[in-house]
Amino acid sequence: MMNLNPSFKKLLVNNWYLLGTLVLSLIGFIDSTYLSLAYFKGENLNCAFLSGCEQVTTSAYSTILGVPLALIGLGFYLLVFVFLIGYWDFKKQFLLKIVYGLSIIAFGMSLWLTAVQIFILQALCQYCLISAITSTGIFLLSFFYQRQLKSVLKDL
């Protein structure tokens, strides 16, 4: 088995984490932008795979204090993207810790909202599920990145 130098291992961890999280944040941003625009324009969603999009996105669970969850999601994905670009430029580790913290909140919200769709509304929105999958992916990447980083730093 090849024994990698800790600095090289850290570089590999950074590259897969940053690229994967950037891609997921971009997918989530596009998805949330579509949902936000549809909400503010009052348009019906084009739900190709599932039939519950309208029921979910117009329910009482689709806003918090009058702010659509899609807009909150858009803000989350934009912040993740900006903090990752900031990390790429400045190499400030605290930016990745912020992304991890935000991803924990988003993951918890995604779990709750998916449960609401399944058990309360008994309807599924494909766009909401895309957001849940992308925010879960960001959380998992961030979680494993933080664990790997601790391991690499121990090796130094």
pLDDT mean values, one per 10 residues, the chain (156 residues): 55 80 98 97 88 94 97 98 95 94 98 98 96 98 90 71
At 149 the pLDDT is 81
Q: Which of 131, 112, 116, 124 is nearest to 53 (CA)?
A: 124
42 Rama sector, left if φ>0, alpha if ψ -120 to 50, beta otherwise: left
Which DSSP symbol is given to 48? S
CATH (residue range 6-155) = 1.20.1440.130
Paired with 63 in beta bridges are 68
Signed CA dihedral, 86, 88, 92, 96: sign only: positive
At 2 the pLDDT is 52
Q: How many residues does the chain have?
A: 156
Q: How far apart are CA 79 and CA 126, in angstroms?
A: 23
At 51 the pLDDT is 84
The token duo for 122 is 């008994």
Q: Which of 34, 16, 25, 22 is nearest to 134 (CA)?
A: 25
Residue recorded with tokens 């580790």: 93
pTM surpassing 0.95?
A: no
At 14 the pLDDT is 76
